[in-house]
Amino acid sequence: MVKIGIIGASGYTGQELVRVLARHPKVEITSVTSERFAGAAIADIFPSLKGLIDLRLSELSVQRIAGESDFIFAALPHGTSMGVVKECIKAGKKVVDLSADFRLKDPDLYERWYGKHSCPDLLQEAIYGLPELYRDEIKGGQLVANPGCYPTGAILALAPLLEQGMISPVGIIIDAKSGVSGAGRNPSMTNLFGEVAEGLKAYGVAKHRHAPEMEQELSSRAGKQIHILFVPHLIPINRGLLSTIYARTNGELSTEQAYGVLRRRYGKEPFVRLCSPGAFPATMEVRGSNYCDLGVMVDERSGQLIVISAIDNLVKGASGQAVQNMNIMCGFPETMGLEQIPLAP
Ligand SMILES: NC(=O)c1ccc[n+]([C@@H]2O[C@H](COP(=O)([O-])OP(=O)(O)OC[C@H]3O[C@@H](n4cnc5c(N)ncnc54)[C@H](OP(=O)(O)O)[C@@H]3O)[C@@H](O)[C@H]2O)c1
């Protein structure tokens, strides 16, 4: 059994890691941390876990966690994570970091969007943890930077179309909607029920921190620098992320041809499902699962391609993908522990 430490286990992605890993046949969770709830049983702060896991949260000590575990998930806010991850790597542990701290390759870009990086040397070493793009690199990685939730949905939708030159890299628009759990469990006024329920609002318009991450990965697919327009929205659901993406086609392209590109690229992928040509995914159809569902259509009148992706932000957008990466890093079957069927009504 691989012993697992989860740093930041009292947050939403930490809870989701526990939910998925508690039933994983090849691992045992040995340490879970929280500063606010140190000493409490994890099932007391997440009652959905009662009777399933008997572990107490403890304060963060990398030395202790490294002594108790073989593999570490860091589910901390960006900025806090980098120093902790560096210590875990020094202790020789394999790490999946769920924060944004190791996703960008360029330290200047990190500084522009997030602030100064304390261990820029690790940025080149970290593998961007999108298995559908970097499976071979993840296999040998010690540090995997788990992608952001919005980038996961957008990159999976666009990568094959850019790789095949089917769409123009200029003028791509990503209009995305996320549920409230995307903002984490720490209370804030903007995320109160009264502020979110029965409404819909855009935020971070054209300046959200996930834009440079998408641009880094989409540019590498297109073979040239890409600038996208990204507008995220907050919607009154707990989990779920739907991205509606618009791109100009390169010459004549039919819906069937665009669908064929996605099918050839993802036909054997266990966690990418395609809607039939002209049909589109829904957050409810992936809820609680590690699937990314994609639907594509070409509007021949306007010459625009529309590709829509749906994921559960806490599963394929965070903790499920983190476990998928762990499975690859540990040589387990990639789908192990991740076979949950979506929780449609
Ligand atoms: N939510 C999503 O959908 C999602 C998706 C993809 C990626 N992510 C990323 O994953 C990371 C975790 O997100 P989340 O939504 O789980 O956040 P969260 O619910 O706010 O949880 C944050 C966790 O970090 C701990 N923590 C905060 N500051 C700390 C510090 N200074 N020292 C030690 N522990 C500290 C908290 O513990 P306490 O109990 O002490 O507060 C808590 O366990 C973030 O970087 C986020 O951007 C989130």
Alpha helices in 47-141 (DSSP H): 62-68, 81-90, 107-113, 121-125, 131-139
Q: What are the tens digits of pLDDT across the range 279-293?
A: 999 999 999 999 999
CA angle 109, 77, 338 (to 5 degrees): 105
Ligand 1: centre distance to CA 11 (Å): 5
Residue-level pLDDT at 278: 84
For the sheet with 201-202, list strands across it: 201-202, 229-234, 173-178, 241-248, 304-311, 292-299, 272-274
Task: Give the integer Cα–Cα distance in Å for 158 and 160.
Answer: 6
pLDDT of residue 268: 97
Query: Rounded to the nearest 5 degrees, what angle is found at the Cα of 229, between the Cα atoms of 117 and 322?
Result: 50
Kindly state if the Cβ of 314 falls inside 6 Å of ligand 1: yes
Residue 187: what pLDDT? Answer: 85
pLDDT in tens, 108-163: 999 999 999 999 999 999 999 999 999 999 999 999 999 999 999 999 999 999 99
What is the CATH number that goes with domain 150-313? Answer: 3.30.360.10
| Cα separation, 199 vs 177, whole angstroms | 12
DSSP class of 9: T
Residue 126: per-residue pLDDT: 98
Confidence at residue 32, expressed as pLDDT on a 0 to 100 scale: 97
For domain 2-125, give the fold.
Rossmann fold (3.40.50)
pTM of the model: 0.97
Outline which parts of the chain fall under CATH 3.40.50.720: 2-125
Positions in the chain short of pLDDT 70: none
CB-CB contact of 132 with 269 (8 Å):
yes
- Catalytic residue IDs: 149
| Atom 30 (ligand 1) nearest CA | 80
321 lines ligand 1 (CB under 6 A): no
**Protein residue closest via CA to atom 1 of ligand 1:** 182
pLDDT of residue 96: 98
Q: Give residue 345's pLDDT.
A: 87
Alpha carbon nearest to ligand 1 atom 34, residue: 8
Q: Ligand 1 pocket, 11 CB below 6 A?
A: yes
Task: Give the integer Cα–Cα distance in Å for 286 and 11.
Answer: 21
344 C-alpha vs ligand 1 centroid, how far in Å? 27
Single out the residue of 215, 242, 203 nearest to residue 155, CA to CA. 215
Count helices and strands (H / E) in the chain: 12, 14
CA of 256 from ligand 1 middle (Å) equals 41
| Residue range(s) of every CATH 3.30.360.10 domain in the chain | 150-313
The pLDDT value recorded for residue 233 is 98
